[in-house]
Each structure stands twice: as structure tokens, then as C-alpha cells.
């Protein structure tokens, strides 16, 4: 579904991505891990079109993600941002239904937003709260509801457990896995958290020194030599 071939990106003299090859199949949940500063966010930005690669191809459904294909791709993806990234001035339901409101009535969008909030364990009373009234865990859930509001085919999760205590982190991981399984969406998660990898991922890719040092099934990662040093601990 998404295939990346020979992706290169430098900032001045600093080469961050130096020939990244990566693939994620339809309905697969891929986790990208790597130490801090290895370029995971740059990779994500290249996929989303927020950074222009210097070289390489990003293919979606077999076609290059160029300026013709990108709008359809952007209509088909949802994203959970690291800090939830809710709009402070909008109530929760409008955050969740932000994209829906472009093509349906406010009342209909609100109904769907309340449905999605319920899916992530937030009651209807949350709908009219302002983001500042939410706890960190609730904000993350609201961000997750927004990510799935438009029934995306592809969902990106950027460090979904950052800032959460272990219990809340486990709950978010469980929610993400459940949602990915029931929607059949393709998922790409960027994370430092190996518990997330085990809970969310079907496959895992290690980004190291500008390229993918290993990609394989989560079930095989315990035996993968390049992952020694990452397993059983946080990669920060
Ligand atoms: N716009 C930019 N201009 C210059 N350098 C950049 C830019 N964006 C990223 N970098 C550099 O690219 C490198 C990789 O950054 P990136 O944020 O992708 O790392 P990361 O793997 O996501 O790290 P972390 O896990 O800490 O979030 C860093 O050295 C960063 O300073």
C-alpha cells in the first residue's frame, strides 16, 4: 500500500535519510523505531508532503505520491499527533469533526464525533468541553477520535504514548490495536516505546544511520540481531 524506495533527505551538510526503503501492506500495522534524531519525523513529513525528499520514490497503492495523487492520499489518512494537537479554541466535538464539517452539516458531524468519542472511551459530556479542560490521557483519546473521524484508510500515530503513565499508555496502545483491527486501516506508528511496538505492530522497521537497518515481523524481532539493544527498553 505504501512503498518507499531510496528516499534521501539532507538539511545543508547533514544527511538525515540516506536511502530509506520501506513497505507497509494494506491493513498492516508497521512501527518505525530508532534513536532520537535518526529522522523518524523527517520520514513521516516526507510521506505527508511536508518535506520534499531530495531523491527517491514514495508510492501509494502502486503510484508515486506526486502532486496529482497526494490530495486523494491526504483525504484518506488520519493522524494522531504527538501532543494530541487539538485546536484550543474549539470544543472537543468540533476538533473531532473538523474535517467532517467541510462536507456535512454541523449536526451530522457532531453525531459522528460523539460516536468516535465513545469508541475511544469518552462520554458525550466530553463533546462540549474545551481542550484545556481535558487531562493528558483524555486529550490523547480525543486526538485519536479525530484521527479516525473520517474513517481513514491509512492512520499515522506519532509517538502515541509519549507523556502518558504506563497504565494510560497501555490503554492507548490497546485502543489503537483494536481500532486498527476493526477498521482494517493501514497503520504507521512512530515510537520509542517497545511496549507499543509489541501491542500495536504487525511489523517493525529500525531506522538507523539514515536507512532501514531491519524490517520484519514483530513476532521475529526478538531474534533480530540489529534490534539487540532496543528490545525490552525504551529507545530514547
Ligand atoms: N527542517 C529542518 N532543518 C534542519 N534540520 C532538520 C530539520 N528537520 C529535522 N532536522 C534534523 O534532522 C534530524 C532528524 O530529526 P527528526 O526530528 O526526524 O528525528 P526523530 O528520529 O524524529 O527524533 P525524536 O525521536 O527525538 O523525535 C535531526 O538532526 C534534526 O535536527
* ipTM for this prediction: 0.96
Do the Cβ atoms of 1 and 61 come closer than 8 Å? Answer: yes
In short, whether 16's Cβ falls inside 6 Å of ligand 1 is: yes
Fold of 25-49+78-226: Rossmann fold (3.40.50)
Q: How far apart are CA 44 and CA 79, in angstroms?
A: 11
Does 181 score more than 50 pLDDT?
A: yes
- Sequence spans of domains, the chain: 25-49+78-226
Q: Residues with Cβ < 8 Å from 195, sequence gap 6 or more?
A: 161, 166, 169, 170, 173
Mutational pocket test of ligand 1: of 41, 51, 211, the residue with most ligand atoms within 8 Å of the beta carbon? 41
pLDDT of residue 223: 83
Does 116 score more than 70 pLDDT?
A: yes
What's the CA angle centered on 26, arms 148 and 77, to 5 degrees? 30
Q: What is the pLDDT of residues 32-84, one digit of tens each?
A: 999 888 999 999 999 988 899 999 999 999 999 888 888 888 889 999 988 77
Q: For ligand 1, atom 31, which residue shows the shortest CA distance?
A: 37
Q: For ligand 1, atom 2, which residue shows the shortest CA distance?
A: 11
Strands 29-33 and 203-208 come out as parallel
Q: For ligand 1, atom 9, which residue shows the shortest CA distance?
A: 42
Q: Which three cell numbers stand for residue 43?
A: 520520514
Percent of the chain exceeding pLDDT 70 equals 97
Q: How far apart are CA 185 and CA 107, in angstroms?
A: 26
Q: How far apart are CA 14 and CA 86, in angstroms?
A: 32
Do the Cβ atoms of 177 and 200 come closer than 8 Å? Answer: yes
Does 170 score more than 60 pLDDT?
A: yes
Q: How far apart are CA 105 and CA 102, in angstroms?
A: 8
In short, whether 221's Cβ falls inside 6 Å of ligand 1 is: no
Amino acid at each position: 500500500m505504501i512503498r518507499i524506495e531510496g528516499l534521501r533527505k539532507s538539511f545543508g551538510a547533514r544527511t538525515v535519510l540516506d536511502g530509506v526503503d520501506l513497505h507497509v501492506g494494506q491493513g498492516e500495522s508497521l512501527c518505525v523505531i530508532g534513536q532520537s534524531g535518526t529522522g523518524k519525523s523527517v520520514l513521516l513529513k516526507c510521506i505527508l508532503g511536508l518535506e520534499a525528499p531530495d531523491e527517491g520514490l514514495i508510492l501509494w497503492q502502486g503510484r508515486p505520491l506526486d502532486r496529482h495523487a497526494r490530495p486523494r492520499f491526504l483525504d484518506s489518512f488520519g493522524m494522531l499527533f504527538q501532543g494530541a494537537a487539538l485546536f484550543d479554541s474549539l470544543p472537543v466535538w468540533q476538533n473531532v469533526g473538523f474535517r467532517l464539517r467541510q462536507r456535512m452539516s454541523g449536526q451530522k458531524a457532531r453525531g459522528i464525533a460523539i460516536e468516535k468519542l465513545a469508541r475511544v472511551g469518552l462520554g458525550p459530556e466530553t463533546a462540549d468541553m474545551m481542550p484545556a479542560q481535558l487531562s493528558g490521557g483524555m486529550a490523547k483519546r480525543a486526538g485519536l477520535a479525530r484521527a479516525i473521524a473520517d474513517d481513514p484508510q491509512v492512520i499515522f500515530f506519532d509517538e502515541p504514548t509519549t507523556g502518558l503513565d504506563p497504565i494510560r499508555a497501555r490503554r492507548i496502545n490497546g485502543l489503537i490495536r483494536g481500532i486498527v483491527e476493526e477498521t482494517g486501516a493501514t497503520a504507521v506508528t512512530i515510537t520509542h516505546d517497545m511496549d507499543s511496538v509489541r501491542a500495536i505492530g504487525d511489523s517493525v522497521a529500525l531506522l538507523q544511520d539514515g536507512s532501514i537497518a531491519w524490517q520484519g515481523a514483530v513476532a521475529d524481532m526478538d531474534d533480530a540481531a540489529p534490534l539487540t539493544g532496543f528490545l525490552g527498553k525504551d529507545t530514547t
